[in-house]
Structure 1
Amino acid sequence: MSDAIKHECGIALLRLLKPLEYYKEKYGTAFYGVEKMYLLMEKQHNRGQDGAGFASIKFDVKPGQRYISRIRSNQAQPIQDIFTQINSRISDELAKNPAYQNNVALQKEHIPYVGELFLGHVRYGTFGKNSIESVHPFLRQNNWMHRNLLVAGNFNMTNVKELFQDLVDVGQHPKLMADTVTVMEKIGHFLDDEITDLYLDCKNEGLSKQEASPVIAERLNIARILRRASKNFDGGYAMAGLLGHGDAFVVRDPNGIRPAFYYQDDEIVVVASERPVIQTVFNVAFDDVKELEAGDAIIIKKNGNVQFENIREAGEKKACSFERIYFSRGSDAEIYQERKLLGKYVFPNVLKEIDNDIHNSVFSFIPNTAETSFYGMAEAAQKFLDDQKVKDIIAQRNTLDEAGLNAILAEKVRTEKIAIKDVKLRTFITEDSSRDEMVSHVYDITYGVVKPTDNLVIIDDSIVRGTTLKQSIIKILDRLNPKKIVVVSSAPQIRYPDCYGIDMSTMEGFIAFRAALELLKETNQYHIVDEVYKKCKAQQGLKDTEVVNHVKEIYAPFTDEQISDKMAEMLTSKGIKAAVKIIFQKVEDLHKACPKNLGDWYFTGNYPTPGGNRVVNTAFINFYEGNGERAY
């Protein structure tokens, strides 16, 4: 993606179902879980590189022995930093104590991170400083084993203030108004409630306090705790938690906005944010890895029982389509095919723009995540050319000689690698005019393959702000002297902020929004901006369920093509010789390509939760008032 947008985070939960001696015997190490967690996290580093955290729990330890270990990092390479420290600690202990080498019981007793239950997290911070305090997992400590709670998630709540007030109303004093803190404390509050009720039951049964603890741990109803805690959650989430005694869970939001996949056999239960990660790390087939259903939780009890419970009634499934377009690893079999279809479905509009002239067109992509959709576009172009060849051969069948036939068959789609990102280049100059010049050299180009008579077609994943297009890509492509530059987005126009975990929070950042404003000015309709502002302000006191997205009215007077053309005009700098055109995927074709991920609020403004409409209206109010704050 030329304009990088960042994803919030990824999770990995692993439960070993056999004694540690089993893994030592079969795999040669009792550190099997630690090694697998490294792979699960490293293969999800695409989901967040601002911070990473890891936690482990040992089962059935004696009082006074540490059973929870946690390590977090916000260094430049946080995953490597974490596991370098873990490795160093393990190696030091083994070196100092040779007796530990082949004694699993001693390893578990004396070496940290050797346990049966693990939780990992990779993070991109959508806002705020990237301090170590913001890195998951979060830990809620207590001297009672079953009251210890570790939480890590891929989530964003639209109603943090409401959730915060809920905690205040029950007498708590939260240390921070942030969704991570409020979510953990919400779960922790109802965990405490559950334990208190169970203790009274045990007391009535005549059990001592010491006898009651393991009974409480066994009887804990995790599903009930999650139902009570998540009752007012408004957002997208895949949330994982560990309890100190050994229970674990992952719960998914009712619309399935954020992803979660799991696999289980007689040795392990694993949950991660992406399917191919599990496939690769455990060498299992595509069909063996299941998707956790929207609104459900997978609950792994300390005794190894795995339960699936409905926590929130599932709504219309609106899984994030950006997972398929850009965020998730393209090695997933379904995602790979879907991205090819994105390229295929946008091709007819490309063909129209180049007047069906395949012969005088060069096709390429902006490295490197758009490569798969490029293959789909190139295959569609080849299909068009092959059909044309058949028509030409049939039309000339009575006069065609060998030379003519060879000439027809020799025609091919011209695909080239045009733009190559110079990863070593750093735009270290901060003065604007100089920095813009440096940015224009971020990509190198391949000279000699484009003729002055050619159309140059470049596909990208999506266009958000358009900054890199204007400052760099269009300028360098123009140096090749094509007659026309056609920039193709495999995603539709991004018009609305995301509030469920993607770093797209302000209206004025979107080139589509700015283009619509320019069109309103040019057509003497800018009064619509004032009217939308008044309507948004009038809704500020309403319940979320009563709020309407009035920002749609900004785009309503114009066709998609009008907005695209205005964007092309705005992104074409002075001195560009080639004609510039921008083409976007249609929303209906996105849904055809990615039928399981229909979340499209950033394109359509159709938010799957009530809080979304409040967020988009607030974002517009902030824009109108010149307020740089986030809308949630």
Structure 2
Amino acid sequence: MCGIVGIVGKRDVNTQLYDALTILQHRGQDAAGIVTCQGGKMAQQKANGLVRDVFRTRHMQRLLGNVGIGHVRYPTAGSSGPALAQPFYVNSPYGIALAHNGNLVNADTLSEELFKTDLRHVNTDSDSEVLLNVFAHELQLQGKLVPNEEDIFAAVEGVHKRVSGGYAVVALIARYGIVAFRDPNGIRPLVYGKRTTEDGDEYMVASESVALNVLGFELIGDVAPGEAIYITFDGKMHRKQCAQNTRLTPCIFEHVYFARPDSIMDGVSVYKARLRQGEKLAEQILRERPNHDIDVVIPIPDSSRVAGQALAYQIGVKFREGLIKNRYIGRTFIMPGQQMRKKSVRQKLNPIDLEFRGKNVLLVDDSIVRGTTCQQIIQMAREAGAAKVYFASAAPAVTYPNVYGIDMPSTKELIAHGRSHDEVCEEIGADWLIYQELDDLVAASAEGSSGVNEFDCAVFDGKYITGDVDQAYLDALEASRHAGKVKKKKELRAKEEESPIGLHNDGEDLHIH
């Protein structure tokens, strides 16, 4: 999962892009990058790290131009490194920079086609670079010295015909404009808006509406599945549907965890969706345990807070902030690498003993993936004196890996895969465990929109929207992840041998769930 942004303004957009990426930082903490364009010349700054660490005053001074794009990266296959920071750039045709949120399931096939048929070189193992080169090739096929909007849309149409997966894209074409498009299934989110100034209209596209809100842009709506938006340097916007057989099936995990609650996606308020998740969990608790003995509901901050509040209100018990979060540690679910997972949870959360001691506590989290974090938090609750510890997940059991842009662990690492409900409960050390029902989760999101009838729920039901993900693909993905971990461990051991003090870590990926 990554965050993308593009702005066509009337003045320099460097600081606006920086602010937008800061707002979208929750979508990726591995790397950040900005590309701007002035007088046909592009300027770029990208590196590993948080937005505040990647950009300095000296960088902003050369990121000039009234048009630009930006990206915050979360590695979708566990890989990390400066070479994988986005946006990516190609010289031909015109000069194109591209940033991408999502994951292509046919990236290997496309990479081979690019080399053998399109005669293009891909320098990294990033599917985003593959996507850039496919778009560049399709645009070059139009054969125009000065492309117009129809040429741009024809290139996007060619991309949709060749590419499979989940993707939201923003690309900057030197001298001409910004193009943004979304996969034909609308899996990954993309919104756009307008701001009227004394110099004229300015446009912005971003992964989440909150970025538009904070920068003063009025939300126009979502880029439709398969649709492309082209905004020229002089501020003229063009739209066109560029794919056939489209359907809107957004990733429901955005509503569960990734998106900020103050965002609106496909007409759905994330905040309201999470409220309904809590309400439906409460209804389930009252059905299954009408005589429950819960004394207090405590959320695991931050993404479960809204659901936890609604749940507590519905079942008529106190809601308390019993776990205090260290604000200087990021969203560890989306950090690259797995090292020091146990230590990270202890550093990130600290219990307030008086909210636990002697009480029957219901902990609420957005989801349970590996189970390692909830195991530790349940143990922390017991150490703080809780009489009983119950656990509620606002999402159903995660039993399948995600292939459309979320770096879920392999199937074998998912705690719910191959285990019964009671076995998961025992494994995490809870006295009682409740999962959200999938139908209730879908209803919690669908109730807020008149246009969304189905969602990508593959991590819960194993039904992959694109229809081309089979066991062979999942096996290859798992093998790739394993190879990456082995390589990372070797690199860490080499560094330990070079360092006089050692690095003291285990080389595992760091995820919060």
- TM-score, reference length from structure 1: 0.68
Aligned to 2:370: 465
Following the alignment from structure 2 to structure 1, what is the Cα–Cα distance between the partners of residues 63 and 343? 49
Kindly state the Cα deviation for residue 416 of structure 1 after the two structures are TM-superposed. 2.0
CA shift in 2, pair 1:618/1:222, >3 Å? closer
Task: Tell me if the contact between 2:118 and 2:137 (Cα under 8 Å) persists in the aligned partners.
Answer: no
1:350 paired with 2:204, answer no
> Matches of 1:626 and 1:150 in 2, distance apart?
27
Equivalent position amino acid for 2:434 in 1: I
Q: Partner residue of 1:568?
A: 425
Mapped partners of 1:585, 1:281: distance in 2: 35
Q: 1:450 Cα deviation (Å)?
A: 4.5
**Contact preservation (8 Å) 1:12, 1:271:** yes
Is the counterpart of residue 124 in structure 1 residue 58 in structure 2?
Answer: no
With over 3 angstroms needed to count, the CA separation of the structure-2 counterparts of 1:188 and 1:356, relative to structure 1, is same
Q: Tell me, what secondary structure is at the counterpart of 1:308?
A: strand
1:584 counterpart = 2:439 = no
CA deviation after TM superposition for structure 1 residue 482, in Å = 4.0
Is 1:183 the counterpart of 2:156? The answer is: no
Q: 2:55 maps to which residue? A: 82
Aligned-pair CA distance for 1:440:
5.9
1:501 partner SS? coil
Note if contact 1:490-1:585 (Cα within 8 Å) is conserved in structure 2. Answer: yes
Distance in 1, matches of 2:341 and 2:223, equals 46
Map of 1:259 onto structure 2:
189
1:149 is displaced (CA, Å) by 1.0
Aligned residue for 1:12? 5
Residue pairs, 1:433-444, within 5 angstroms: 443-444=349-350
Q: Deviation of residue 140 (structure 1)?
A: 0.5
Residue 159 of structure 1 corresponds to which residue in structure 2? 106
Q: CA deviation at 1:162?
A: 1.4
Shifted more, 234-243 versus 479-488: the winner is 479-488
SS at 2:46's partner residue?
Answer: strand
2:501 equivalent in structure 1 = none
From the superposition, tell whether residues 121 and 172 of structure 1 become closer, same or farther in structure 2 (CA, over 3 Å).
Answer: same
1:24-68 CA distance string (max 9 Å, x none): xxxxxxx4x222112111100111111111111124x6xxxxx21
Cross-structure match for 1:53: 33
Match of 1:610 in 2: 467
Contact 1:51 1:124 in 2 (8 A): yes
CA change 1:171–1:469 in 2 (3 A) is: closer
* Residues 1:73 and 2:20 aligned together: no
Distance 1:414 1:627 in 2: 43
Partner of 1:115: 65
Match of 2:298 among 355, 359, 364: 364
User: For 1:558-589, what per-residue CA distance to the aligned partner results, in whole angstroms no more than 9, with x for missing partners?
Assistant: xxxxx2211011222xxxxxx61111100100
1:167 Cα shift?
1.5
Q: Which letter does structure 2 place at the counterpart of 1:38? A: Y
Structure 1 residues 492 and 617, CA gap change in structure 2 (3 angstroms): farther
Of the three residues 37, 40, 49, the one matched with 2:20 is 40
Matched residue type, 2:423: K
What is the CA-CA distance between 1:437 and the residue it aligns to?
8.3
Spell out, residue by residue over 1:380-433, the C-alpha distance to the aligned partner (whole angstroms, 9 max, x if none). Answer: 123xxxxxxxxxxxxxxxxxxxxxxxxxxxxxx222222224568999xxxxxx
What SS is found at the alignment partner of 1:494?
Answer: coil
- In structure 2, relative to structure 1, the CA distance for the partners of 1:424 and 1:165 (3 Å cut) is closer
Query: For residue 335 of structure 2, what is the aligned residue in structure 1?
Result: none
Which of 63, 83, 89 is the equivalent residue of 1:133?
A: 83
Q: Give per-residue Cα distances to partners, 1:486-536, cap 9 Å, x unaligned.
A: 100001110111011001141111000142xxxxxxxxxxxxxxxxxxxxx
Residue of 152, 169, 174 corresponding to 2:121: 174
Q: CA deviation at 1:83?
A: 4.3
Secondary structure of 1:512's counterpart equals coil
Q: Which amino acid is the alignment partner of residue 485 of structure 1?
A: V
Native 8 Å contact 1:499 1:505 kept in 2: no
Aligned mates of 2:424, 2:383 — CA distance in 1: 21
Q: Which residue of structure 1 aligns with residue 262 of structure 2?
A: 331
Aligned Cα RMSD in Å?
A: 2.8
CA 1:628–1:514 in 2, change beyond 3 Å: closer, same or farther? farther
* Kept in 2: contact 1:279–1:289 (CA 8 A): no
Superimposed CA distance per residue, residues 159-191 of structure 1 (whole angstroms, 9 cap, x where no aligned partner): 112111222332515234531222111111122
Are the counterparts in 2 of residues 57 and 246 from structure 1 also a CA contact under 8 Å? no
In structure 1, how many angstroms separate the alpha carbons of the residues matched to 2:344 and 2:178? 50
Tell me: CA distance 1:132–1:479, structure 2 relative to 1, closer, same or farther (3 Å): closer
How many residues matched? 461
Secondary structure, counterpart of 1:300 in structure 2:
strand
What stretches of structure 1 of length at least 5 have no aligned partner?
1-7, 21-30, 62-66, 91-111, 199-212, 383-412, 428-433, 516-562, 573-578
Instruction: Give the conservation status (yes or no) of the 8 Å contact 1:159–1:234.
Output: yes
**Higher-helix-fraction structure:** 1
Measure the CA separation in 1 of the matches of 2:329 and 2:221.
42
Query: In structure 1, the residue corresponding to 2:310 is in which secondary structure?
Result: helix
Contact 1:497/1:506 (<8 A) preserved: yes
Contact 1:150–1:243 (8 Å) recurs in 2: yes
8 A Cα contact 2:111 2:122, kept in partner:
no
Given candidates 231, 242, 252, the residue that maps to 1:300 is 231
Tell me, what secondary structure is at the counterpart of 1:485?
strand
Q: 1:435 to 1:243 in 2, by over 3 A?
A: closer
1:593 counterpart residue number: 444
Q: Which runs of 5+ in 2 are unaligned?
A: 333-339, 447-451, 485-513
Q: Quote the Cα distance in structure 1 between the aligned partners of 2:118 and 2:456.
A: 37
2:491 alignment counterpart: none
